[in-house]
Structure 1
Amino acid sequence: MFSLVQLESFIAVAEELHFGAAAERLNMTQPPLSRQIQLLERELQAKLFTRTSRTVQLTTAGKVLLPNARRIVDMSRKTSMEVSRVATGDFGTVVVGYTAVAGQSVLPEFLATAARELPGVSLVLREAVSVEQLDGLSKGTLDLGLLRPFTNRAGVETTLVKKDRLVVALPKDHYLVTGKGVLIKELEGLPLMMYSTSEGRYFHELVLRLFDSVGAKPTITQIASQIPALISLVAVGLGVSLVPAGSMQYSPDSVAFEELVGPSGLQEMNQSDIVLAMEETNANPAARRLKEIYLESIQTVEGPAIKGNRG
């Protein structure tokens, strides 16, 4: 059976793609590092790297192993610390998932609260889309998640921490950039940068509902799983997209934003809030303590406004 040392050695080489840099990172020399990789390959009966005199690359087998190896090592470290954790939750490790937008709009305040109120708690941060976070919460690989209310998942507790909505992202020189807002109908026929049906399922379904609510049909020309990728497509002029207002703060100057306007009921439908989620059976006292303190500390859950660009 492979060992944690072998997995840690593999992860270091896979991330550095250089045996010398990986050995330095692990405070060891290259020969024992190479030996650990050889033992792991022998145990798994698969070649994990292809090496030339200049490059190191992961094989297909190595690419399959990497996320699993990270998960095993993370769980091992987490378990080791949890065994010695005191019941108060003032010490320990909390694994926190967050979406790309939550990483900009919610995570900074969350981290500041943790550092100020629970200095003895170590945080392990994992960026992931909402559906992956829900899976992680259910499986116990995540303690807390900052995610979109993708779907009701049995056993997962959610609390609203930031209200948000979709806004229209357009190239800065687009004719719809007026500061008066954009109707869904005005987007019909325009090339739409759309969310993946798997990783971006929450937003994919929300966008379709918004179009359907006014009898419009989107013209989908590009698909991406992450919001920054969609904004980048808009930035180079390939089309328009509907993105959370919280993403405006890290968007390039070449992208402009307009509010979605329309008939009664549109605003109630146009909700892409961020929630703090936890598996209700989670036994990590530090995670429960952090959740409690953070929820007590937040003053508002309002989303950002489009400055100087609202009708």
Structure 2
Amino acid sequence: MFELSQLRCFVAVARELNFRRAAEHLHMTQPPLSRQIQLLEDDLNVKLFERTSRSVRLTAAGKSFFVEAQDLLKRAEAASLTARQAEAGQHGSISFGFIPVAAFDIMPRVIKAVGDKAPGVSLLLHEMLTIEQIEALTAGRTELGLIRLPRERERLELQCIQRERFVLALHVGHPLEQKENIGIEDLDGESFVMYSPADGWYTYEILAPLFTYAKVRPKFVQYLGQTHTILALVSAGVGCALVPRSSQVIGLPNIVFRPIDLPEEARVEVFLAWRRGNDSPVVEMARNVIVEHAAIDS
């Protein structure tokens, strides 16, 4: 089988139709160049050039092979570049899970940061709950994930990349809309859409102790797992809710958001997660880019 070096010699001669100029272009002398062409012709068992003392021209076989040889060299160069980029974490794909609420703010910034740094890397996105992501990461079906802090995390590495405050979501016209300074005590007796202790346990376990400690008893009218569903009920006038600040971008009608005075520790966090021992260069590159360019504390 012929070698890439022989293809380069052939292409150079085919372009120049002059062995001297082709040799100069390849930074070699004519005898080794002629030898490479001869070896290539012997290997192919065809004559590629018609040579006289005054001219060099391609045979019919040579013209056909010239097209294919150029394509082979381009593909070889592309394959070499892809391999080098993969080693440097600049090429490949990443199976990436994210919790639904991450789509409001952090996920768009992650996509942009990775795309700007490594255009050759594709993110294969999967919207999944935290518990589903833990299973997928552990089994190797996904490689990175944006999750809430899980209860079980023995085989995972975690890094917090977003901390954000809560805001109070009110239906338009609610009496609290005009109140200047709102505190948790103002929610006593108010119809309230709460995160579920089952499907929304992470946020529930942040908010429930706040009400208990402040001795505030809202009227819990619904318990739900997802922020966008909670906001849909606020939009319908079912009750008010405490939601992460980033969820304001959802843009549902008939909702106003107001700041509320809560303890500093009352924040929701998003963690970047990956399986311990995953040493993929492209995954490592993405982790570093996300931490450097997409992390936020709000």
Q: TM-score, normalised by structure 2?
A: 0.66
The verdict on how the C-alpha distance between 1:187 and 1:230 changes in structure 2, with shifts beyond 3 A counting, is: same
Task: Give the Cα separation in 1 of the matches to 2:135 and 2:232.
Answer: 28
2:296 maps to which of 301, 307, 310: 301
Offset at residue 105 of structure 1 (A) = 0.7
Over the matched positions of the two proteins, sequence identity in percent amounts to 28
Match status 1:88 vs 2:85? no
Task: Give the Cα separation in 1 of the matches to 2:150 and 2:244.
Answer: 14
2:296 partner amino acid: V
Secondary structure class of the residue paired with 2:242: strand
Deviations 1:83-125 (A, max 9, x none): xx94433222211122223112111121112212212222111
Secondary structure class of the residue paired with 2:217: coil
Match status 1:270 vs 2:239? no
The verdict on how the C-alpha distance between 1:245 and 1:179 changes in structure 2, with shifts beyond 3 A counting, is: farther
Task: Give the Cα separation in 2 of the matches to 1:172 and 1:134.
Answer: 39
1:291 maps to which of 263, 273, 287: 287
Corresponding residue for residue 205 of structure 1: 205
* Bigger mean CA offset, 238-247 vs 154-163: 154-163
Task: Give the Cα separation in 2 of the matches to 1:240 and 1:152.
Answer: 32
Corresponding residue for residue 125 of structure 1: 125
Task: Give the Cα separation in 2 of the matches to 1:195 and 1:141.
Answer: 29
Task: Give the Cα separation in 2 of the matches to 1:150 and 1:217.
Answer: 28
Corresponding residue for residue 280 of structure 1: 276
Corresponding residue for residue 227 of structure 2: 227
1:240 partner amino acid: C
Corresponding residue for residue 194 of structure 2: 194
RMSD: 2.4
1:210–1:269 Cα contact (<8 Å) kept: no
Task: Give the Cα separation in 2 of the matches to 1:179 and 1:185.
Answer: 13
* Bigger mean CA offset, 128-137 vs 203-212: 128-137
Task: Give the Cα separation in 2 of the matches to 1:288 and 1:134.
Answer: 19
1:180–1:258 Cα contact (<8 Å) kept: no
Corresponding residue for residue 105 of structure 2: 105
Offset at residue 230 of structure 1 (A) = 0.3
Deviations 1:113-152 (A, max 9, x none): 2212212222111112333323322232221112233446
Corresponding residue for residue 40 of structure 1: none
Match status 1:182 vs 2:182? yes
The verdict on how the C-alpha distance between 1:285 and 1:163 changes in structure 2, with shifts beyond 3 A counting, is: same
Corresponding residue for residue 134 of structure 1: 134
Corresponding residue for residue 255 of structure 1: 255
Secondary structure class of the residue paired with 1:193: strand
1:172–1:256 Cα contact (<8 Å) kept: yes
The verdict on how the C-alpha distance between 1:128 and 1:181 changes in structure 2, with shifts beyond 3 A counting, is: farther
2:297 partner amino acid: E
Task: Give the Cα separation in 2 of the matches to 1:172 and 1:137.
Answer: 42
Offset at residue 158 of structure 1 (A) = 2.0
Unaligned runs of 5+ in 2: 1-84
Structure 1 runs of 4+ aligned residues shifted over 6 Å read: none
Corresponding residue for residue 242 of structure 2: 242
Corresponding residue for residue 57 of structure 2: none
Corresponding residue for residue 149 of structure 1: 149
Task: Give the Cα separation in 1 of the matches to 2:134 and 2:165.
Answer: 21
| Number of residues of Structure 1 aligned to a counterpart in Structure 2 | 216
Task: Give the Cα separation in 2 of the matches to 1:130 and 1:210.
Answer: 23
Task: Give the Cα separation in 1 of the matches to 2:250 and 2:145.
Answer: 21
